[in-house]
Structure 1
């Protein structure tokens, strides 16, 4: 959006703070050039990660599994129910609705639990976009963490012990867990009350046609998957039990997810020399984003650093405590609280800490915050500038999703305010035009592909060749995603 005359005057005032007196004659581009150099930015967030190609046979079969309800206990939910490319690699909800949804095919706003029950999953569904670029941790609380080359700790073992079955990469390690969650995909009637590994094995055995009669899939379904696995793994004589395992399933799911690379952004083009790739207002926003508070900026890059825009660390930033809360090992959530990283490390100093999200494509990956408390980019930007003020003034009426638990919100807020947040969590005065400029800059971190159904089509199954139990997601009005 072009700057108005009022905003241009405001921008000049901002720049007088951001650019030292010795360099008032520098242009916006010159100032940003210095920032790009000082932060060693290249625009390319790929480091040493091994990526996948959506056209590979494994990624293609992984996509079919990702959209198949056959991986859920009740056959009513797929991975794509909460992570659909047309919904920003998430679900466009503050809090996910997994099993027992009123209309399993409805994705996004309008998806709700049966009988109007409130959401029972405590955390926002993270985007799968660029998931392969994480190098250290997975999930909001980092409960899956890299502890060495191809070595990961997971919830199956006491932190920080190595899980020998975690897989070859972080994405595969995380892909093994949603199918074991009774609220996300498993439900309470299939393999319930078994260990997480036994749950995975039961899902795999059912897909392979080796499940007890009462829970078995039709032979036409299991035959389809056996044929597909034999083709993909070039093993025409292998048995179902040899091919269809929880390890091969998670490998394939990871291959599909790791192919979702969307990093061709206007900001990258700008870094690479196209000064017309972003607007003047976005350039002002970039200065505000990178410059320190002592220079009139907001120091966002202290945490949202590098070309991936995340240092992969954990902080308590006072996100409003909405939702059901997250239970610990005893199975009980305390007054709707979610203690975040502490539930992993058991360290009191990790109370309420959550992973710094990447900001690539953040325009389309809301709602924002570990629990989706904010439903607009300006809202979360204001919170990050003045977290204490925004927490105390938080209005849950902004939530677009029905029945999110906000009871005793004042009590929850009081507990959070007493939690001794990180020392850097200090409110800073801001101007509306600064927020607008920051939001405009954040939108330059969007790969245009993620806003185009045609461009995203390789990551969405072709409905002309449906797989058994394939999720065909729609919005509330029946329009296909």
Structure 2
């Protein structure tokens, strides 16, 4: 199971990172944006009032630029992104977008060099991904938190790994998604501290994995991981447990199995990571399983090692290439692959704030629209955290600082890829936002968005019964199951979230340092928010919405008879329907 990466604080951090250098106002709720100054629409001022009765918009009797009505220039710029000149419409919008594509050298994505799911190694990895035999207590598999039908994730804000139960407190290891609860907690709260990132298009990411980047390929090509030793200078060395030529996906696959909350449980808790992995490999070598024969098909010999296990799982993940989105088709030359609304959103997305845009491409860049670095964007913090001091207990999450030890990285999280983002909700490193609109609005005003999320007024959360936080599917399920109030489930959620916002404000005030904080607030109206959301949804490959299309990556009842052991996870939803 992958933790925080690819990392879709979606941050997380973040599902949509806006221009970090802009200094603008908040989202306006009052309808379409007032048109930008342009020909026939100069900046309001003395003798140049806003349009209205007696001062009509350009048209008959209100001529185009000429003497006394100058062409655009300093102080009288052209209309902004998503708001083309009247009468030019689609053509002007297409020109704006094409200009940005050329300037930013945006290009379509290719699956060249990545494996096919039909290849022997990804086929082996598929079986390994779905077996509970890699779970210490045999109650969880990689797929427990990363099922293809669930967007390559689990649809939960915070994942439930080992010892899952259902609403009736019955063991439910094969129940995935909503209705999956933690049987090891008295309140059934999830113990995994972060939202599970999607595994879709993992092969396109060869730099960092997890929300905090704890598995990372350095500039020299070597990979550092949580198993890396520290040199005399205090820097992490390359992980010497990794075989030569290991992919980033294979390196990442070595760690969910060692996590007590994700897959390990309390099994062999006294062993270090590498010794524990060898125990798992020996388990698969058991004569009562068919794993040796499966490895023979992939490697031409039947040796089962954990290096091979991780490599095969990594190749399965790397085979999940879903890039046939309207946006990718547009970049391939299909100009009609995007609607006008989606094109307007793309122009806003890639235009900087000083161009009238949202500046999202500052952090979500490249062919995968992901970030190479880590950003402080102050997404909400709730859940068990990572042991960092919060307002009341150690349930805060310092993010990247936990890896580097540098307080300039506090609350920084990796900007995930936005590919297929329409199916990877909820968003952010804690899955605190259920919709893309909430994510977009967060960047305009983090404090206001968090107050809205928790229905806070004058610093007091949950002042009414309409807090969106309580409507998050996982939170609502916990309320219904346990009978607790929303506030009592996570009493520190609001205060911890505001603590992060205060840190961001202190950074903006120059009181504390930060490596890459959100400095700007895109000034977007409702129409522009909708355009941005439409564009981001156009980053989704239709295949990820189609169960039949996803079938090659799924182990179901049809494959159960030939599975290498008797512990395949045949996933079902809360109603008992197969995924």
Change (3 A) 1:423 1:259: closer
Aligned to 1:202: 279
Structure 2 match to 1:346: 405
Deviations 1:372-421 (A, max 9, x none): 01111111121123223213332222321034952123431342123245
**Is 1:59–2:59 an aligned residue pair?**
no
Match of 1:383 among 433, 442, 446: 442
Choose the corresponding residue for 2:103, options 38, 41, 44. Answer: 38
Q: Partners of 2:176 and 2:345 in 1: how far apart?
A: 33
With 161-170 and 301-310 compared, the bigger mean Cα shift is at 161-170
Alignment partner for residue 531 of structure 2, among 437, 441, 446?
Answer: 437
2:329 alignment partner, one of 269, 276, 279: 269
> Is 1:291 aligned with 2:360?
no
CA contact (8 A) 1:191 1:198 kept: no
Q: Distance in 2 between matches of 1:77 and 1:21?
A: 53
Check if 1:413 corresponds to 2:508: no
User: Which residue number corresponds to residue 180 of structure 1?
Assistant: 258
Q: Distance in 1 between matches of 2:525 and 2:353?
A: 14
Among 316, 336, 341, the alignment partner of 1:256 is 316
Relative to 1, partners in 2 of residues 1:293 and 1:75: Cα closer, same or farther, differing over 3 Å? same
Shift of 1:71: 0.4
Give distance in 1, aligned partners of 2:292 and 2:353: 59
CA offset at residue 427 of structure 1?
A: 2.8
Q: Distance in 1 between matches of 2:431 and 2:202?
A: 19
Residues 388, 426 of structure 1: 8 Å contact kept: no
Q: Deviations over 1:252-304 (max 9, x none)?
A: 10110110001111011112222221111111111111111122211000111
Q: Alpha carbon RMSD of aligned pairs, Å?
A: 2.3
Encode CA deviations 1:295-344: one digit per residue, 9 max, x unaligned.
2211000111121101321011000111111126x9xx954210000000
For 2:326 and 2:575, the matched residues in 1 are separated by 33
Residue 149 of structure 1 deviates from its aligned partner by 5.3
Counterpart pick for 1:147 among 211, 215, 218:
218
Tell me the equivalent position of 2:70: none
> What is the alpha-carbon distance in structure 2 between the residues aligned to residue 300 and residue 20 of structure 1?
17
Cα deviation, residue 21, structure 1: 9.3
| Conserved 8 A contact 1:335-1:412 | no
Judging changes above 3 Å, is the alpha-carbon distance between structure 1 residues 21 and 176 closer, same or farther for their aligned structure 2 residues?
closer
1:19 and 1:379 map into 2 onto residues whose CA distance is 20
Give the secondary-structure state (helix, strand or coil) at the position aligned to 1:16: coil
Give the direction of change, closer, same or farther, for the CA distance of 1:233–1:19 in structure 2 (3 Å limit).
Answer: closer
SS of the equivalent of 2:309 reads helix
| Length, aligned pairs only | 450
CA gap 1:136/1:365 in 2 versus in 1, 3 angstroms: same
Write the distance in 2 (CA, Å) between the matches of 1:335 and 1:255: 37
Match for residue 47 of structure 2? none
Contact 2:81/2:344 (<8 A) preserved:
no
From 166, 191, 196, give the equivalent of 1:125. 196
Q: Contact 2:385–2:394 (CA<8 Å) still a contact in 1?
A: yes
1:159-184 CA distance string (max 9 Å, x none): 52110123411100000000000100
Higher Rg of the two aligned structures? 2
> Comparing both chains, which one has the higher relative contact order based on Cα–Cα distances under 8 Å and sequence gaps of 6 or more?
2
Q: CA deviation at 1:425?
A: 3.0
Q: Which residue of 1 aligns with 2:236?
A: 160
- Partner of 1:416, secondary structure, is helix
Q: Which residue of 1 aligns with 2:371?
A: 311
1:471 paired residue among 560, 563, 569? 569
Distance in 2 (CA, whole Å) between partners of 1:430 and 1:163 is: 45
Distance in 1 separating the partners of 2:32 and 2:448: 24
CA contact (8 A) 1:136 1:312 kept: yes
For the residue of structure 1 that corresponds to 2:385, the secondary structure is coil
Alignment partners' CA distance in 2, 1:430 and 1:377: 14
**1-side partners of 2:366 and 2:219: how far apart?**
22
In the TM superposition, residue 20 of structure 1 has moved relative to its aligned partner by 9.9
Aligned partner of 1:6 in structure 2 is none
Larger helix share, 1 or 2: 1
**TM-score normalised by the chain length of structure 2:** 0.74
Does the residue aligned with 1:276 lie in a helix, a strand or coil?
helix
Decide whether the 8 Å contact of 1:387 with 1:425 is kept in 2: no
Distance 2:84 2:548 in 1: 49
Q: Compare 191-200 and 55-64 and name the one that shifted more.
A: 191-200
SS at match of 2:288: helix
The partner residue of 2:249 within 142, 146, 171 is: 171
Q: CA shift at 1:148, angstroms? A: 4.5
User: Residue by residue, what CA displacement relative to the aligned partner does 1:431-469 show, whole Å, maximum 9, x if unpaired?
Assistant: 111111111111110011110011111111252231221
What is the distance in 2 between the residues matched to 1:438 and 1:227? Answer: 50
Gaps of 5+ in 2: 1-30, 37-77, 166-171, 455-468, 479-485, 508-515
Q: Give the direction of change, closer, same or farther, for the CA distance of 1:430–1:186 in structure 2 (3 Å limit).
A: same
User: Any conservation in 2 of the 1:387–1:426 contact (CA below 8 Å)?
Assistant: no
Which residue is equivalent to 1:4?
Answer: none
Matched, 1:193 2:259: no
